[in-house]
Amino acid sequence: MKQTDFHPDASPGLSPGLVPDRPADRPLDLSGVDCLLFEDAAAVAEAAAEWILEQARRAIAARGAFRIVLAGGTTPLMAYRRLAQAQSADWSAWHVYHGDERCLPADDAERNSRAADQAWLGRVSIPPRQIHVIPAELGPEAAALDYQQPVAAALPFDLVLLGMGEDGHTASLFPDRPLPSAEQEDTLVMPVQDAPKPPPERVSLTPRALCASREILLLITGAAKHAALVRWQAGESLPAACIARAGNTTVLLDRAAAG
Ligand SMILES: O=C1O[C@H](COP(=O)(O)O)[C@@H](O)[C@H](O)[C@H]1O
């Protein structure tokens, strides 16, 4: 089935209703998805880091653990660097997963896990066994199979962090690409072949896994993302829009992306 058809059966709606300190206003109609506009990418990063830390505090107070899925790409890196500076976080209760990974050697500069490690994870005291890296160096099929169990054991996530590509993709779910069929409804992690953005081989959490989260935070910054936002507003079923609508999502965006 295509990304337009999926019906994740997760039960979001458990948002604690967090509001960052300095939202500028509510600028766009993204098909009913909550959306907060900030001046620039730095302000989005600051709000995202505060949001993540607050969600962690609440999850740890309520359930003794915080399970977060990280976005890849460049957009979240500024927020990750801010998190690396957080003084009061109880890192021992954090459990970290990745939303997607690129099938490259483990130490390749383009690996999402390596970027997150350099910006944040390698600088704080989260127990290494609680950082769940997708073994994408094994190739898409083997890595997806390997990552299914840790993801299944983690659900529901407390927070899924996402970015959006210039074509409207999110994680490694690309427009007009196949998704697991209805018969494969338990599939939480999928191999990705022939991705239009390099590298072509990737691994991604499925819509079902991404939406099985108490909250989704989608970060969109930079003028290069404006065209995809226009398509989203026009009603196109871009993967980022489909996930955002299906989950309990808040979009943080900057003026450059909003246009
Ligand atoms: O390839 C990817 O792209 C998207 C967007 O990346 P960005 O560099 O424009 O922020 C990202 O969300 C995804 O995780 C990543 O693998």
For residue 123, with 0-12 CB atoms within 10 Å meaning exposed, 13-18 middle and 19 or more buried, which class applies?
A: middle
The C-alpha atoms of residue 155 and residue 151 are separated, in whole angstroms, by: 7
Ligand 1 atom nearest to 75, measured from its CA = 10
Tell me, yes or no, whether 26 lies in a domain: no
Tell me, yes or no, whether 81 lies in a domain: yes
Output the residue whose Cα is nearest ligand 1's atom 12: 163
189-192 and 94-98 as β-strands: parallel, antiparallel, unpaired?
unpaired
Q: Ligand 1, from 100, 173, 201, 252: best to mutate by most atoms within 8 Å of Cβ?
A: 100
Outline where DSSP puts E strands in 123-167: 159-163
Residue with the bigger pLDDT between 20 and 217: it is 217
Tell me, yes or no, whether 22 lies in a domain: no
Mean pLDDT taken over the chain: 90
Domain that holds residue 240: 34-210+229-258
The C-alpha atoms of residue 258 and residue 149 are separated, in whole angstroms, by: 38
Q: How far is CA 250 from the centre of its chain?
A: 12
Output the residue whose Cα is nearest ligand 1's atom 16: 72
At 153, is the pLDDT very low, low, confident or very high (cuts 50, 70, 90)?
A: very high
Q: What ipTM does the predicted assembly reach?
A: 0.98
Outline where DSSP puts E strands in 2-104: 34-38, 66-70, 94-98, 100-102
Tell me, yes or no, whether 5 lies in a domain: no
Q: Ligand 1, from 70, 108, 170: best to mutate by most atoms within 8 Å of Cβ?
A: 170
Cα of 10 vs centre of ligand 1, distance in Å, is 24
Number of domains in the chain: 1
Q: Which amino acid is at 55?
A: Q
Query: Token digits for 4?
Result: 């337009």
At 15, is the pLDDT very low, low, confident or very high (cuts 50, 70, 90)?
A: very low
Q: What's the CATH code of the domain at 185?
A: 3.40.50.1360
pLDDT in tens, 168-205: 999 999 999 988 877 788 999 999 999 999 999 999 99
pLDDT in tens, 204-226: 999 999 999 999 999 999 999 99
Q: What are phi and psi of 169, to 5 degrees?
A: -75, 160
Q: Point out which residues pair with 131 in neighbouring strands.
A: 96
Ligand 1 atom nearest to 163, measured from its CA = 12
Report the pLDDT value the prediction gives residue 19, as an integer from 0 to 100: 41
Q: Point out which residues pair with 202 in neighbouring strands.
A: 102, 192
Q: Is the CB of 171 under 6 A from ligand 1?
A: yes
Report the pLDDT value the prediction gives residue 25, as an integer from 0 to 100: 52
Tell me, yes or no, whether 29 lies in a domain: no
Element (H, E) at 202: strand 202-205
Tell me, yes or no, whether 222 lies in a domain: no
Q: Is the CB of 72 under 6 A from ligand 1?
A: yes
Tell me, yes or no, whether 10 lies in a domain: no
Q: Would you give the end-to-end CA distance of the chain in angstroms?
A: 33
